[in-house]
A and B are shown apart, each in its own frame.
Chain A
């Protein structure tokens, strides 16, 4: 009994269970680590900032704090989607910064074991391909897991900071 419990604990530490918040963008489902998601907001007016980099949609006010909203489609090199009732702004904490990303819809939280995550089938040289951490097949859907830490480079962060 004690052995099986110990074995179970060892397995869990070797193959941890991770939680991912999934969202939809251009008909595909993406996932981000739940630990980096602070909150999910309904779409609200995003104030454009003159001279901001092209990957920045603008800023929003969140309880007295200014949050920069990133144009996810632009970052992922996808065509821009329409704003609908399902559109959400996900507030994330990335590398110590708080940013927002605009997504078509937020779906659910899924539990994935580390071992279930496959390496990204990365065959391209495109800059944006580095944002993909891996893929995972869950409930008949292929989730594309995003590495938020790579979403913005050092230069991008300094550009955002100087806005």
Chain B
């Protein structure tokens, strides 16, 4: 198994892998568009699947598909976990397996008031199929780079950008590989995520860690994503983005922008995923 991976790595450099990953994201978006074109009203003009595929040989395409299947499977597990916590029922296909769960025991006490839950959840949870609140009109995003992959974070949910190379991140033993450690920036500590390992786990083995120079704080949370380079801010119209109609699969991904060839982060979705203690995705990465 390892041998195959090594072989693949020598054949495909990280740059190529990233390019393919992004292409694949766009290709996936395009496929969704054609399949759901009737119902999806948010679609904009996109590349045709043929043009997106044209750069890949059949072998490459199939290996890519296979690796993404792992990714999707992992995410699906995670989604199952998350959906159990969600207050608002997601509007996905009704799953017959959920029958025994919704009807718990008649323990429904008449609300004995003070349950010692300290956090009243300041951020309102949005259903994974609802449009994102910041994306109803024109919005600004900051572009940043992770291993050649261009990503964007909406400015309204950007907590801050801090210079923090690997030497400034304290690694803590016993944590998953994607958890780089704690970056001390200013007066607080940010839990830092190896962004590339989250976004493209099957195309990357952590070799970019040395190159990360900045951490981007996700909203006001104590989570941050590491990146190599921070670029300019761009203004986008909602119509320029291919929004994901259902974000339950990759909760961190809000959509893709063809004009800029970049993926937009769903910051709240990402935080939710990172905060979930029994996150299936995390477990598979470990």
| A interface, CB within 8 angstroms of B | 28, 76-78, 118, 120-132, 135, 137, 140-142, 144
Contacts of B175 in A (CB 8 A): 121-124, 126, 129
Query: Of all chain A residues, which has the CB nearest B193?
Result: A123
Across the interface, B184 reaches (CB within 8 A) one of A28, A120, A128, A140, namely: A140
Contacts of B171 in A (CB 8 A): 28
B286 touches A124 (CB 8 A): yes
Contacts of B182 in A (CB 8 A): 121, 135, 142
Distance in angstroms from B116 CB to nearest chain A CB is 17
A128 touches B189 (CB 8 A): no
State the 3 A-B residue pairs at the shortest beta-carbon distance, nearest first: A129-B174, A128-B174, A126-B174
Whether A132 contacts B174 in the complex (CB less than 8 A), given A123-B179, A123-B282, A126-B286, comes out as yes
Additional 14 contacts, C-beta under 8 A, given A123-B175, A126-B173, A129-B172: A28-B171, A77-B173, A121-B172, A121-B191, A122-B175, A124-B179, A124-B286, A126-B176, A129-B175, A130-B174, A131-B174, A132-B174, A141-B170, A144-B172
Is B53 at the interface (CB under 8 A from chain A)? no
| B interface, CB within 8 angstroms of A | 170-176, 179, 182, 184, 189, 191, 222, 274, 277, 282-283, 286
Distance in angstroms from B123 CB to nearest chain A CB is 19
Contacts of B191 in A (CB 8 A): 121, 123
Cα distance, A28 to B191, chains bound together (Å)? 16
A127 touches B174 (CB 8 A): yes
Contacts of B174 in A (CB 8 A): 76-77, 122, 124, 126-132
A137 touches B189 (CB 8 A): yes
Contacts of B222 in A (CB 8 A): 121
B189 touches A28 (CB 8 A): no
Interface of A is mostly: mixed
Contacts of A142 in B (CB 8 A): 170, 182, 184, 189
Contacts of A130 in B (CB 8 A): 174
Across the interface, A125 reaches (CB within 8 A) one of B170, B172, B184, B286, namely: B286
Distance in angstroms from B187 CB to nearest chain A CB is 8
A135 touches B173 (CB 8 A): no
Contacts of A137 in B (CB 8 A): 184, 189
Cα distance, A82 to B282, chains bound together (Å)? 32
Across the interface, B189 reaches (CB within 8 A) one of A121, A123, A127, A140, namely: A121
Most buried by A among B174, B182, B277: B174
Query: Of all chain A residues, which has the CB nearest B275?
Result: A123
A124 touches B184 (CB 8 A): no
B184 touches A76 (CB 8 A): no
Distance in angstroms from B282 CB to nearest chain A CB is 7
Cα distance, A96 to B132, chains bound together (Å)? 56
Whether A129 contacts B173 in the complex (CB less than 8 A), given A121-B189, A121-B191, A135-B189, comes out as yes
Cα distance, A91 to B184, chains bound together (Å)? 31
Contacts of A76 in B (CB 8 A): 173-174
Distance in angstroms from B137 CB to nearest chain A CB is 35
Distance in angstroms from B20 CB to nearest chain A CB is 29
A128 touches B173 (CB 8 A): yes
Cα distance, A141 to B184, chains bound together (Å)? 8
Distance in angstroms from A23 CB to nearest chain B CB is 14
Cα distance, A10 to B179, chains bound together (Å)? 39
Cα distance, A71 to B171, chains bound together (Å)? 19
Contacts of A124 in B (CB 8 A): 174-176, 179, 282, 286
Query: Of all chain A residues, which has the CB nearest B179?
Result: A123
Distance in angstroms from A22 CB to nearest chain B CB is 13
Contacts of A123 in B (CB 8 A): 175-176, 179, 191, 274, 277, 282
Cα distance, A70 to B155, chains bound together (Å)? 49
Whether A120 contacts B189 in the complex (CB less than 8 A), given A126-B286, A137-B184, comes out as no
Cα distance, A132 to B170, chains bound together (Å)? 14
Contacts of B173 in A (CB 8 A): 76-78, 126, 128-129, 131-132
29 A-B pairs with C-beta separation under 8 A: A78-B173, A120-B172, A121-B172, A121-B175, A121-B179, A122-B175, A123-B175, A123-B191, A123-B282, A124-B176, A125-B176, A125-B286, A126-B174, A126-B175, A126-B176, A127-B174, A128-B173, A129-B173, A130-B174, A131-B173, A132-B172, A132-B173, A137-B184, A140-B184, A141-B170, A142-B170, A142-B182, A144-B170, A144-B172
